[in-house]
Structure 1
């Protein structure tokens, strides 16, 4: 996963919002800054691991913040699963959204 995909997708930024997206099963991929303190990043890594969410750690706080369009550094961000539906990458998105909800998966409400 790249910063371009984060930038062009639907995302949340910051530790609390990222944690919330993981808990709600809305995160498709989580970006954790490589220069983030381990005591902060470890709980997030563990939550991703237990939820089966891929983690990207190849970017700094400054790079993640810039990709999210904010003027401050960001320790984490989560690319949301709803990006496929909202960006039109899935033809017939409303049908796919309905089927995924029926199957137990959850898309962020739009």
Structure 2
């Protein structure tokens, strides 16, 4: 399952601001976006990922993504960082 990559990632940036910054800096390998996150928030990162050639993987929910990231709250998005 795709969330295994989140769990196994050496470094993650969690949340909209951090994930966006990681993509802008060219450090993101893959971005995970929750399907139930607000589209007004996700549209910017989707377009950014497409223009930067970063893989986008959609996950079922913010709760699922948050748990995979090891946090107690939901996460709209998370980026796997290339070290």
Corresponding position of 1:26: 27
**RMSD in angstroms over aligned alpha carbons?**
1.1
**Count of aligned pairs:** 82
Cα shift at 1:59: 2.7
Higher relative contact order (CA 8 A, sep 6+): 2
What is the CA–CA distance in structure 1 between the aligned matches of 2:20 and 2:36, rounded to whole Å? 18
Cα shift at 1:57: 1.0
Q: For residues 69-80 of structure 1, what are the structure 2 equivalents within 5 Å?
A: 69-80=70-81
Corresponding position of 2:8: 8
SS in structure 2 opposite 1:50? helix
What is the CA–CA distance in structure 1 between the aligned matches of 2:45 and 2:82, rounded to whole Å? 18
**Does the 8 A contact of 2:59 with 2:65 survive in 1?**
no
SS in structure 2 opposite 1:31? strand
* 1:45-104 deviation line (CA, Å, top 9, x unaligned): 00000000010113310011001110000000001112xxxxxxxxxxxxxxxxxxxxxx
Q: TM-score, normalised by structure 2?
A: 0.93
Cα shift at 1:21: 0.3
Which structure 2 segments of 5+ residues have no match? none
SS in structure 2 opposite 1:57? strand
